[in-house]
C-alpha cells in the first residue's frame, strides 16, 4: 500500500510542475480505490496515447509537400482502402478468436461430437409459412382430445381391474384345490390310524381272555381284515377260528 501511495504522489507532483512531461501512475488513479473489473495478469497493460500516430503524421506531411491532384487521388485511395483495411483486421481478429475458442473447447471437452450442430435460423417468411401449414385448433378440438384421453384412461383402468379379478379367481381356485387335497390326505391318515388302534385293542382283549376247556385257543383276528361299517361296526374286527380255511396267525404285534 505504501508503494502505491508513493508512486501516486510522485506522478501527481510531476504533473503539477509546469513544463514537465506528463507522467502516469501505473497502478491506480487513486491509491484508495479498487478495480471494478477483473484484471488479467497474463496480458501486459500497454498505455494507449491519444493523438495521431507517427506513420499518419509522416503521410500527412508527404501529402502536404506534394500537393496537387496526385495528393487528392492518394487521399481518396487511402479513404477507399481504409474500411477494407478495418474489415480485414476485424476478420483476422475474429478468425483468431474462433481458432482460440476451438482450441479451448477441444481441450475442455475432447469427447464432444461435432456432428450435432444447432439448427439453422429461419427467416420470418419461412416461420409464417410453417405456422400457416399447421391447422388451427378450436375449443371443440381441445375438448375432443380431453374426452379421448379420459376414455383411454378409463379403458386402461377397466382392463387392469378385469385382470386383477381373473388373478384373484385363479388364486381362489388353486387354494380350494390345495385345501381339498390336504383334507383327503388327513382323512386317509385318520382312517389308517383308527384301524391300527382297533387291532391293538383286539389283541390285548385276546390276551386277557382264558383258554377254552377243549384246549382250543380263542379266535385270532385276521390280518388286513376289512373294517366293518354300518350296524356291525360295534362288534369290532372280523374274527376267524382255526377250523376255517382262512389264513390264521399267531397272536402278536404287527
132-158 pLDDT per residue, tens: 776 677 778 878 888 888 888 989 999
**Residue 209: which pLDDT band, with cuts at 50, 70 and 90?**
confident
Q: For 86-125, b where at least 16 C-beta lie within 10 A, e where not — what string?
A: eeeeeeeeeeeeeeeeeeeeeeeeeeeeeeeeeeeeeeee
226, 238 Cβ separation under 8 angstroms: yes
Average pLDDT for 164-186: 94
Would you say residue 106 has pLDDT above 90?
no
Prediction pTM value: 0.27
pLDDT at residue 233 in the model: 45
Quick count: other Cβ atoms within 10 Å of Cβ 137? 9
For the chain, what are the domain ranges? Answer: 61-94, 142-240
pLDDT at 188: 94
DSSP character for 220?
E
Amino acid at each position: 500500500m505504501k508503494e502505491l501511495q508513493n508512486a501516486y504522489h510522485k506522478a501527481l507532483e510531476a504533473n503539477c510542475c509546469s513544463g514537465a512531461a506528463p507522467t502516469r501512475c501505473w497502478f491506480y488513479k487513486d491509491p484508495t480505490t479498487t478495480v471494478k473489473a477483473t484484471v488479467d495478469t497474463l496480458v501486459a497493460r500497454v498505455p494507449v496515447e491519444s493523438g495521431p500516430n507517427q506513420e499518419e503524421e509522416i503521410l500527412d506531411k508527404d501529402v502536404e509537400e506534394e500537393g496537387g491532384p496526385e495528393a487528392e487521388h492518394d487521399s481518396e485511395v487511402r479513404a477507399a482502402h481504409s474500411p477494407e483495411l478495418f474489415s480485414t483486421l476485424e476478420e483476422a481478429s475474429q478468425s483468431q478468436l474462433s481458432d482460440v475458442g476451438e482450441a479451448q473447447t477441444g481441450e475442455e471437452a475432447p469427447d464432444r461430437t461435432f456432428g450435432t450442430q444447432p439448427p439453422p435460423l429461419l427467416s420470418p417468411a419461412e416461420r409464417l409459412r410453417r405456422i400457416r401449414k399447421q391447422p388451427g385448433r378450436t375449443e371443440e378440438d381441445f375438448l375432443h382430445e380431453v374426452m379421448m384421453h379420459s376414455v383411454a384412461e378409463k379403458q386402461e383402468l377397466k382392463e387392469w381391474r378385469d385382470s386383477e379379478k381373473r388373478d384373484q379367481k385363479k388364486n381362489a381356485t388353486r387354494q380350494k384345490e390345495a385345501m381339498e387335497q390336504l383334507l383327503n390326505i388327513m382323512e386317509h391318515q385318520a382312517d389308517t390310524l383308527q384301524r391300527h388302534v382297533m387291532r391293538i385293542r383286539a389283541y390285548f382283549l385276546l390276551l386277557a381272555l382264558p383258554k377254552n376247556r377243549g384246549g382250543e385257543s380263542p379266535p385270532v383276528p385276521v390280518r388286513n381284515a376289512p373294517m366293518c361299517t354300518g350296524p356291525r361296526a360295534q362288534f369290532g374286527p372280523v374274527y376267524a377260528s382255526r377250523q376255517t380255511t382262512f389264513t390264521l396267525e399267531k397272536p402278536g404285534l404287527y
